[in-house]
Amino acid sequence: MSEITLDAYKAMIGQEVGVSRWFEVGQDRIDKFADVTEDHQFIHVDPERAKATPFGGTVAHGFLTLSLLAPMMFDGQPRLAGTLMAVNYGFDRVRMMSPVRAGSRVRGRFVLNEVVDRGPGEILIKSQVTVEIEGAEKPALVAESLGLTRFA
């Protein structure tokens, strides 16, 4: 995505500012996440046993879906001209709305809620993010993401 000025970005408050590429959530990714987080609940890692659940198969960890917001944000939001550093500051009102079945693809859709000046050269960006599941009506996750950006 191309760079835009801070003034142009602030003019986009209330609008969709970007959409990430699709990310595949295959069983291999789910298994690796289970290993890293030590969360081996059968609904995530045992395809045979998970078939008997209402999900009909394995599903991604909710925190796996949440963790994919890092590359989605980098991918789907505009770059601000003059940025020295941008960091994830956290999330407000995170809701995991629908399970992500193994083999699904997800992407992030971003709406700019607010840009807060925090002093010389620093802003707090609040964006509504919706993680869509390809082909599904209901999103996997909705949250307000918070990001700090510092300028030269």
Mean pLDDT of 126-145: 97
CA distance linking residue 38 with residue 19, whole number of Å: 31
Return the CATH superfamily for domain 3-24+59-151: Hotdog Thioesterase (3.10.129.10)
Average pLDDT, the chain: 96
Q: Tell me which DSSP letter residue 42 carries.
A: H
Q: Is the pLDDT of residue 2 over 80?
A: no
**Selection from 102, 111, 86, 140 nearest residue 18 by Cα:** 111
pTM for this predicted structure: 0.93
The pLDDT of residue 1 is 59
